[in-house]
Amino acid sequence: MPELPEVETVARGLAARVTGDVIESVWLGDKPQPLKSPAEEIVSALERSRIAAVRRAGKHIVFDLEQNGSEPRQWVVHLGMTGRLLVSRPEAEVAKHTHAIARLKSGREIRFVDPRRFGRLAVSPAFAAAGAEPLDISLEDFATKFHKSKAPIKSALLNQKLLSGVGNIYADEALFRARVRPRRRACTLTRVELRRLYVALQKVLNEAITAGGTTVSDYVGSDGSEGMFQFALRAYQRHGERCLRCRKTKIKRIVLGGRGTHYCPCCQK
């Protein structure tokens, strides 16, 4: 499932390609699952709208739309497990599992393709993700949020009501770098540990954004390119391999809150 860095990569790729373009017409497929708003609402919000900006909010991609004589609207896309947003030439073959096509004035098309159909399309007048942005939150607010949680710190990091967009890969990587054991209750972390975790999380997310995200299963960017961050992973799915910090203990895998969790039993306390 794409996480914050992958969604950021897709949003940046789209922003560079379609900002300022105008959606002339919209085609929606007949599968009901991808549509979180009524089809006619999506069509009326998108058609004849200018794309003023494309950005990421949590794990959502938000197209800010401007339409003459109407309130600004947003087209909100969640990629789910296998969703992709592609910018295609009209003559390019329409992929199987294409659920929406927005035809642009420039002649290109934005296509939403999603084989497993966990992705979602919606329109909203003022979309905001539920949790705080991990790259914008202050250390003070970060510490306050996690100090109140009795959940294991790994589960708290994944809680989208606390932070928006952190998923399994980057939670494991941030905890490894901060030397904090995933099972620890969040409220038991000291100020020093919370600070280490805050710094580690922002660092790992920013590095992954720079690398274009992590390619797991079939995630690809808006131009079909693959991310490179999988080569920089230090804990995630390295179970059985030697820890890169202490160089003696093997990375262990446990299941925590139903999610595969990877850590070094020697380095992470």
Active site residues: 2-3, 59, 259
Q: Are 243 and 250 in contact (CB under 8 A)?
A: yes
Q: Smaller CB distance to Zn ion: residue 37 or 249? A: 249
Nearest residue to Zn ion by CB is 243
- What is the x/- site pattern for Zn ion, positions 22-61, by CB under 5 A? ----------------------------------------
95 neighbors 82 (Cβ within 8 angstroms):
no
d(CA 257, CA 145): 19
DSSP state letters, 161-219: TTBSS--HHHHHHHHHHHT--TTSBGGG--HHHHHHHHHHHHHHHHHHHHTT----TT-
Specify the residue, 121 or 243, whose C-beta has the smaller distance to Zn ion. Answer: 243
Give the binding range for Zn ion (CB under 5 A) out of 53-61, 122-130, 146-154, 259-267: 259-267
Q: Which stretch binds Zn ion (CB under 5 A): 122-130, 177-185, 197-205, 243-251?
A: 243-251
Q: Which residues pair with 262 in a beta bridge?
A: 253
Piece in contact with Zn ion (CB under 5 A), picked from 33-41, 92-100, 219-227, 256-264: 256-264
Tell me the Ramachandran region of residue 213: left when phi exceeds 0, alpha when psi lies from -120 to 50, beta otherwise: left
Beta carbons of 218 and 239 less than 8 angstroms apart: no
Residue 267 lies near Zn ion (rule: CB under 5 A)? yes
Interaction between residue 249 and Zn ion (CB under 5 A): yes
Q: Which is nearer to Zn ion, 96 or 247 (CB)?
A: 247
